[in-house]
Amino acid sequence: MTHRYKDSKFASDKFTGKVEIAAGKITGNQQLELKGHVKVAKADLKHKLDPAHVVEGLKERAAGTVNKKVDS
């Protein structure tokens, strides 16, 4: 599942990482490219562990369960 960081505090880290990946590929600098991959992975992990994201996921699952019960 792809997560979009709407107005997220982690969006800038992810964007910076993607820019570093692209710059590393263009220049042939593997260290810069790897640094970008680490930055993107770190932003994704921080986003997934963010309490607001966790609560939102729980609310969506609860709503899905309630909808299944109502529909049956």
Task: Show me where the domains of the chain are located.
Answer: 11-71
Predicted TM-score (pTM) above 0.85: no
Instruction: Count Cα atoms within 13 angstroms, Cβ side, for 13.
Output: 16
Q: How far apart are CA 65 and CA 46, in angstroms?
A: 27
Q: DSSP letter for 53, please.
A: H
- The answer to whether residue 57 scores a pLDDT higher than 80 is no
Give pLDDT tens digits for 4-47. Answer: 555 567 888 999 999 999 999 999 999 999 999 999 999 988 88
CB 54 within 8 A of CB 45: no
pLDDT, residue 1, reads 44
SS3 content of the chain, % helix, strand, coil (to 5): 80, 0, 20
